[in-house]
Structure 1
């Protein structure tokens, strides 16, 4: 019986479990999901290691270059570039000049003085009025006393009086805030684009403050509204080779000597835009100054487009054709030229400050345009990922509108620049420091914040400076031109179309 059951079990067929029905198109969907998975992994890997991939060609070039050096030459390069540490440039403090109430020049007063000069035609007066209405200026900008007289006084004596007032006023304030003695200053850089008397403005500062005899003194002229950055860059380089030093940088412009009394529209614009002001900055490379310094200079990037004739001539001091009166003309192509200079500048700055993901997108777009000649709009990286604060030269409303659009900045980011233009006007190379002072007065600067200062100047130049806040700035402990009225800002400035001349 047992053998019979065993035989029946052996002869009984074994039934396997039913196979699940396969869905239609499962294989293509599966392959698609696998492809997307590896595409995502590949992009993640590429972005994460983009810096290494981009550095490989540079390393090959470096190794090829090093192979041409002898042992002694290689040691000298290593000694001066790697063994010798780079000295950090610390910003101990800065000050901006705020003229007294007697220098306030409302738009109405400006037009009254222009009409009283009996130089401008009715068409020129109407043009200046339209410029002022669209300028974004308020009613409290400042002008020198020589131009507020009838007839105006443009003498050398009055020009010296204006420059000394703003320079000495801001330097006095800076020395009082930092408690640095004039004899401790080893480097002095003064920049004024249009007023270059003899002796120089830097020599006048040395004489007034009795600075020491071995001071390194420099006077920069003819370099436009971005000369303040050039002065900072020069001081930074000098601090690399002169240890334990203070560098004083003074940025200003003279309005008295350079007011245009003629009827060329391209030269009348500067009359409506420039106002009186100055800034003084104290840099240090002393290690023990770090605890009381505000900012550390991370880098400067300078762009010069002067090789191009159109760029060179877009801001030009010359005589007008009718009366041979001297003024500064602004080209109608100024905004386009400024945009090109900015693009070149951020092409250099971007890889130094942007996150890798933004660098990759920028690089791919650049390669597609330059190498493959594809018609693409230039990719503008999101610089808000690299900087917390933006100080854009308050050269005019059109400049600020253009950069706000191109860099995709918010009203909050543009507020320091717009309010500086409204309250103080275009104070040339010193305007960027009024903007930083605004952010400080608002209590916006926190420890570790990064600040991008952007300046434009004749030539044509676009220069940048990047700072990092060493500590949070307490507005209650600050003294700057905004402190007694900061609660009144921001104010609403209506948007208007730019004037075409």
Structure 2
């Protein structure tokens, strides 16, 4: 672990504390979250197609006009699915759904991993731990075991599967990778987020929250490397978590014979008024003013979340543009959202060396996983 004098986080515009050590000794040594890779399936459904399907499937639903309005207001224009829509709409049972999850995960994870490794300029055998996060399917052993067996990782690679963080899982994966580095300085950690939300479609569940989710969530696999030394991307400086008390049932799964039934409380969009102060507090504990940073990577659960967080933090809406792009083009891809928004941030080429930023994932609990970092171009 480092001391405060080694890596003091100072408010922007002030000079960090210095010591008589050489410039080399004072060089940044924190791990770098390198540019993520994101793979989306080939089957696409547009907003117009989603609205037409909802109207055709539920013509007599008393809340159909409300559901259609909510879906339009998500801002989602296209989503990608692991199966054609006509197959997605057919529910063959939980067993077959999970078989599809495993088959598609094994089919699509390797490409994302290969690109993530290339972005970090590493090979599989240089990875010391794998954090795999998913909330849309289940395997035991974890898919990390399959990855080690089939994708060239060492047999002593640590396995860190995360299965119950929902949309906050991407932020949690990043923070656990950071924690692993702090325990094992210089280690390289691979993150994989595998989310096939379409496999949770429940044709008999006619609640408003479920109807909304049918037009909001999409499928994707994302991967990124937290490199212990060197690399280009977000240098991880600090992380924290916050749970809003009394909200554990606001976002949840009901596990039934047909699988996972998504439950969404109508109060969820208002949680930013509780989470924004937590972000400020966590940043302040490390000497950062999170209301005045250079870039933001925020979980795009929906437009209301981004709008409210912008207002409560006093941050211009344009600062969340990359997250909105993810929502518009891919929908809510659960734990993969923050990795895709970070990919868009990196590929924009607009973030200068040393820029300060915040990454935040939100999910069941209600939980926030927060990461502070500075940009490095390697």
CA distance in 1, matches of 2:222, 2:70: 26
CA distance in 2, matches of 1:95, 1:159: 20
Secondary structure of residue in 2 paired with 1:142: strand
Following superposition, the deviation at residue 136 of structure 1 comes to 0.8
Following superposition, the deviation at residue 293 of structure 1 comes to 3.0
1:383 maps onto 2:291 in alignment:
yes
Following superposition, the deviation at residue 436 of structure 1 comes to 2.3
Following superposition, the deviation at residue 438 of structure 1 comes to 2.3
Following superposition, the deviation at residue 223 of structure 1 comes to 0.8
CA 1:238–1:351 in structure 2 vs 1: closer, same or farther (change >3 Å)?
A: closer
1:277 maps onto 2:183 in alignment:
no
Aligned to 2:195: 253
The superposition leaves residues 209-245 of structure 1 with CA deviations (integer Å, 9 ceiling, x where unpaired) of 1321111011111111111222122222222233443
CA distance in 2, matches of 1:329, 1:388: 35
* Residues 129 and 189 in structure 2, CA contact (< 8 A), matched pair in contact too: yes
CA 1:151–1:449 in structure 2 vs 1: closer, same or farther (change >3 Å)?
A: closer
More strand by percentage: 2
TM-score by length of 1: 0.64
The superposition leaves residues 422-474 of structure 1 with CA deviations (integer Å, 9 ceiling, x where unpaired) of 111111122122222223333311111112112111012012111211228xx
* Residue 145 of structure 1, aligned match among 50, 69, 83: 83
CA 1:111–1:149 in structure 2 vs 1: closer, same or farther (change >3 Å)?
A: farther
CA distance in 1, matches of 2:251, 2:130: 27
CA distance in 2, matches of 1:180, 1:234: 20
The superposition leaves residues 163-200 of structure 1 with CA deviations (integer Å, 9 ceiling, x where unpaired) of 33442231122123334221221101101123222232
Aligned residue pairs, count: 348
CA distance in 2, matches of 1:294, 1:332: 36
CA distance in 2, matches of 1:257, 1:233: 27
* Residue 403 of structure 1, aligned match among 287, 300, 309: 309
* Residue 352 of structure 1, aligned match among 286, 293, 296: 286
* Residue 330 of structure 1, aligned match among 250, 264, 270: 264
The superposition leaves residues 362-391 of structure 1 with CA deviations (integer Å, 9 ceiling, x where unpaired) of xxxxxxxxxxxxxxxxxxxx712xx10111
Structure 2: segments with no counterpart, 5+ residues: 1-10, 15-27
Aligned to 1:214: 156
Structure 1: segments with no counterpart, 5+ residues: 1-47, 52-85, 356-381, 473-501
CA 1:399–1:151 in structure 2 vs 1: closer, same or farther (change >3 Å)?
A: closer
More helix by percentage: 1
CA distance in 2, matches of 1:319, 1:216: 30
CA 1:166–1:397 in structure 2 vs 1: closer, same or farther (change >3 Å)?
A: farther
Aligned to 2:169: 227
CA distance in 2, matches of 1:451, 1:193: 27
Alignment root-mean-square deviation, CA = 2.8
CA distance in 1, matches of 2:59, 2:219: 22
Aligned to 1:58: none
* Residues 104 and 143 in structure 1, CA contact (< 8 A), matched pair in contact too: yes
Higher-Rg member (1/2): 1
* Residues 283 and 372 in structure 2, CA contact (< 8 A), matched pair in contact too: no
Following superposition, the deviation at residue 119 of structure 1 comes to 7.0
Aligned to 1:422: 328
TM-score by length of 2: 0.83
* Residues 188 and 202 in structure 1, CA contact (< 8 A), matched pair in contact too: yes
- Which structure is higher in RCO with an 8 Å CA cutoff and minimum separation 6? 2
Following superposition, the deviation at residue 124 of structure 1 comes to 5.5
